[in-house]
């Protein structure tokens, strides 16, 4: 194929097959948090896909202010995917869009800095060791060798929330823990560097033997998109489908069964279709309370809370009001970003409700104790 001057056509920015699937029906509009917030067609999935098409055809230049704004304003929550009758893979389109839109000097400085840090395997190994990275239980691992599975520690998670990995290993003691592992590349893929995102995911696949079990919904979805669904299990999915898992006990508060809600991980729910597993596990240890917006983004959205703090805070404030109204003791999270975001919101509102990773809550139920944070 050649252009009008006889030269080769430039490589398209977005995969034409993916881009052509949208039939502009608008079924996705009610599911989109940014459209709900603004009522602006450009802030909807359909509007953004039309912007991508304009970028693809050259009708809009990459520096067009609407393109810049909308590639950044989108949460990347993928709530538009499960409701789409045409099977539009919006998450993939967004990654390709940002890969072009945020290339070079156009990449947000903060995102670039985080990606640089996340790429330092040695640094995370050292910090993880200082924070108490869980270690493989050799006896348990050799007993489970025929069904090999590895625990992914996460890059920022192992430093910010080291108890999560320890709880996961206590719940599934047969998991292998490779201390050499780095970042899975989800951060890069979601922030305009898909090549590094894929490279890091492949490296993770080489470093971790067997099934990769992760406590992060966002990392699970990214790894599954690169390594294949069969290689990756998010922890709740892994536990809920394990024949050997039994509810570890009951979570009690003030002498009664605890009331627990869940904040879904957007990528786990919308990307991998995993949403009943964490609910079933929580219902096994406590009275489960469904938040009206449990399946809607909390505003963390990877780097969104850092790059778009005002919008993120607005989303979070509504979420915290809902948590308070539900009268729960705990909110469980299945992704470190959601954990950090909800923790910030609950602390800011001086709430008595605690946000805890699902793995920790299950472990606490087994040990018959309440969390201290």
- As measured in angstroms, the least distance from the Cβ of 304 to ligand SF4 is 9
Q: Which is nearer to ligand SF4, 94 or 251 (CB)?
A: 94
**Contact indicator for 212, 233 with CB cutoff of 8 Å:** yes
Residues near 40 by Cβ (< 8 Å), separated by ≥ 6? 47
338: contact with ligand SF4 by CB under 6 A: no
The backbone torsions φ and ψ at residue 118, rounded to the nearest 5 degrees and listed phi first, read -65, -25
Collapsing DSSP to helix, strand or coil, 351 comes out as coil
**For 134-138, which contacts have Cβ atoms below 8 Å and span 24 or more sequence positions?**
134/165, 134/166, 134/168, 134/169, 134/177, 135/177, 135/179, 136/175, 136/176, 136/177, 137/169, 137/173, 137/174
Among 14, 34, 172, 285, binds ligand SF4 (CB under 6 A): 34
Q: Which stretch binds ligand SF4 (CB under 6 A): 16-24, 58-66, 147-155, 207-215?
A: 16-24
Q: By rule CB under 6 A, what string of x and - marks binding of each residue 183-222 to ligand SF4?
A: ----------------------------------------
**Residue 32 interacts with ligand SF4 (CB under 6 A): yes or no:** yes
**Cβ burial 71-106 (10 Å sphere, 16+ → b, else e):** bbbbbbbbbbbeebeeebbbbbbbbbbbbbbbeeee
Question: What are the beta bridge partners of residue 356?
Answer: 332
* Choice from 13, 48, 56, 356 touching ligand SF4 (CB under 6 A): 48
Task: Work out which of 14, 45, 300, 330 binds ligand SF4, going by CB under 6 A.
Answer: 45
Nearer to ligand SF4, 91 or 182 (CB): 91
- Smallest gap, in angstroms, from Cβ of residue 87 to ligand SF4? 8
* Per-state percent for the chain, helix, strand, coil, to nearest 5: 55, 10, 40
**Which range touches ligand SF4 (CB under 6 A), out of 23-31, 107-115, 177-185, 311-319?**
23-31
Residue among 214, 356, 295, 209 nearest 30 (CA):
295
Q: Does 128 sit near ligand SF4 (CB under 6 A)?
A: no
Tell me the per-residue interface mask from 70 to 99 with ligand SF4, x by CB under 6 A, - otherwise: ----xxxxxxx---x-x-x-x---------
**Site of interaction with ligand SF4 (CB under 6 A):** 22-28, 31-34, 45-46, 48-49, 74-80, 84, 86, 88, 90
């Amino acid at each position: 194929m050649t252009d009008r001057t006889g030269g080769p056509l430039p490589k398209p920015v977005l995969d034409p097959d993916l881009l052509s699937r949208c039939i502009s029906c608008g079924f996705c509009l009610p599911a989109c948090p940014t459209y709900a917030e603004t009522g602006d067609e450009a802030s909807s999935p359909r509007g953004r896909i039309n912007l991508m098409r304009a970028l693809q055809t050259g009708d809009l230049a990459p520096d067009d202010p609407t393109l810049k704004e909308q590639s950044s304003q989108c949460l990347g929550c993928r709530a538009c995917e499960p409701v789409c009758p045409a099977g539009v893979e919006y998450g993939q389109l967004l990654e390709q869009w940002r890969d072009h839109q945020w290339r070079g000097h156009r990449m947000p400085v903060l995102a670039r800095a985080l990606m640089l840090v996340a790429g330092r395997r040695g640094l995370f190994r050292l910090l993880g060791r200082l924070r108490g990275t869980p270690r493989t239980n050799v006896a348990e691992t050799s007993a489970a060798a025929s069904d090999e599975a590895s625990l992914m520690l996460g890059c920022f998670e192992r430093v910010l929330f080291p108890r999560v990995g320890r709880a996961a290993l206590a719940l599934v003691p047969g998991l292998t823990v490779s201390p050499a592992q780095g970042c899975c590349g989800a951060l890069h893929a979601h922030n305009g560097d898909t090549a590094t995102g894929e490279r890091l995911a492949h490296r993770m696949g080489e470093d971790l033997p067997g099934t990769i079990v992760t406590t992060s919904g966002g990392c699970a979805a990214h790894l599954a998109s690169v390594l294949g669904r069969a290689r990756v299990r998010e922890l709740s999915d892994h536990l809920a489908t394990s024949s050997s898992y039994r509810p570890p006990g009951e979570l009690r508060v003030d002498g009664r069964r605890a009331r627990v809600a869940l904040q879904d991980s957007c990528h786990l729910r919308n990307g991998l279709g995993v949403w009943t597993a964490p609910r079933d596990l929580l219902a096994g240890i406590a009275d489960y309370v469904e938040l009206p917006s449990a399946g809607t983004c909390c505003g963390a959205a990877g780097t969104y809370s850092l790059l778009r703090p005002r919008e993120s805070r607005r989303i979070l404030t509504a979420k915290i009001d809902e948590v308070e109204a539900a009268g729960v003791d705990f909110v469980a999270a299945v992704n470190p970003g959601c954990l950090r975001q909800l923790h910030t919101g609950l602390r800011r509102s001086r709430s008595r409700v605690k946000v805890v990773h699902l793995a920790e809550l299950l472990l606490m139920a087994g040990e018959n104790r309440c969390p201290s944070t």
